[in-house]
Structures are given as C-alpha cells and as structure tokens.
Amino acid sequence: MSKKVALITGGSQGIGKAIAERLVKDGFAVSLVATNKEKLQKVADEINNNGGEALPIVADVADRDEVFAAVEKTVNHFGEFNVIVNNAGLGPTTPIDTITPEQFEKVYGVNVAGVLWGIQAAHKAFKDLGHGGKIINATSQAGVVGNPNLALYSGTKFAIRGITQVVAQDLATEGITVNAFAPGIVKTPMMYDIAHQVGKNAGKSDEWGMQTFAKNIAMKRLSEPEDVANVVSFLAGPDSNYVTGQTIIVDGGMQFH
C-alpha cells in the first residue's frame, strides 16, 4: 500500500477534527467533509502546515450524491482509499412533544442516512480499487441507553448500532470490517449546546445541564475529543483486523455491558 487514506465526515470541529489529527499522526492522508467551508479550510490548513496531507470537501452527508462525490474526489486526489469514518451528526435537545416532521427528517437525514450513504460510497470505492477496507460509524452512549430529552438523537444512534451489525455481516467476506464508536460526554460544541438546552428547559445553568449527563462517569472527568480519536485509531489500524460488527463504548465508565 503506497498511501493510507481516510475520509472523515464532520471533520471541521470537535471529535471529527480530533480523529483527523490522530489519523494523520498514524500516517494517513485525510479528506475532511463538512458543510462549513471556512472551518474545513482552517483544519485542513493546520494539518497541511504541520506536514500532513488533508483535502477539505464541502458536502452535506444527507445528500447521497454529495457523499458519493466526496469519496470519488478523495480517490481521485490521493489515488487510494482505505477508511471511512461516518462521524457527522446533529444532536438537538427534543422533549418528546416538541418534535416536528421537519426536525425528524433533518436529524435522521444526517445521522442515519448520512451513515448509510457513507457505507455505500465506501463499499463502491473499495470494490473499484480491488481491496477491502474499514468502515467506522459514530454512535453514542445515548445509542446504548436512552438519554432524557434526546428522543431523536438517541433513536438515530440506536439505529447506527443495528446498521453496523448488519453491514458487518454483509461485507465480511470482502475483507471489510464495520465497527462503531460510542462516545460519552465529550467536550465539543455539540455537547455544550445539548447541555445548554437541557439546563434551559429545566430553568437551570449550562453546568447543571452538563452534570445531568456527566454525574455518573466512573472516571470522574468529561471526555476530551482525543479520548475518542484514540479508539478510532485502533479501529482504523491493523490491530482491529479481526474485530467487526462491534460498538466500542468510550465513556469513562457510564455504561457497562
């Protein structure tokens, strides 16, 4: 293999940015996919200026054609493709009676359809290139056990675990592994927004909102994005070649299964 290449959706901030930086450290060239051109360019510039290789691609993962085009651009640019990290996601706070059809379509479009389109696009690329690869999907601690006020988000993340198990079986004979990572309470912009909304709904502070999720962490600290990126590094590398269909929970000890 002349070059290792990974595509990370949601690569412009938070966990996705940390994953991109870790995979570059592991020797990967990376494509970064997100909707915000300025944020994408900033992350790509940081990686490229530090000796890595990063290609920013503006795309909406809810749009199947845009996801396929992003993978195709990656292959054309780097000449190879080995790993996709379907990381992009939305995490709105949704008390059950407030959910609208528009909100349902938006969140499921990004969180579930975006993963399905990523899997399809990666599978096509692996077949065209004549080799296997690794598909890594983002679920959540909230996709292992339901979290209050997160009916839409938790539902999508439960779905990702099921999809991961099915596709792992469907693609195993092609040398493709399919796994998921389930972060806990990570210090990211999305998590701070969730905490703010939960606190606001209860008439409490942002810190109170965060603690409603964080209070039961055995390790007594919130997760850094790098904690999650370390696990994705394992799933993207050769040490996980005999692991497929699994969800690895990265939550500092909130759920035990």
Catalytically annotated residues: 153, 157
Under 8 Å between Cβ of 147 and 193? no
Number of helical (H) and strand (E) elements in the chain, helices listed first: 9, 7
Please give the Cα distance from 252 to 231 (Å, whole number): 12
10 Å CB burial of residue 154 (0-12, 13-18, 19+) is: buried
Edge-first strand order for the sheet with 54-58 is 54-58, 28-34, 4-9, 83-86, 133-138, 176-183, 247-250
Computed from CA positions of residues 195, 11, 123, 107, in that sequence, does the dihedral angle turn out positive or negative? positive
Residue 134 backbone phi and psi in degrees, to 5: -130, 130
Q: Where are the alpha helices (DSSP H) in the chain?
A: 14-25, 37-49, 64-78, 101-108, 114-129, 151-171, 189-201, 206-214, 225-236
| Residues in CB range of 227: below 8 A, 6 or more apart | 183, 186, 250, 252
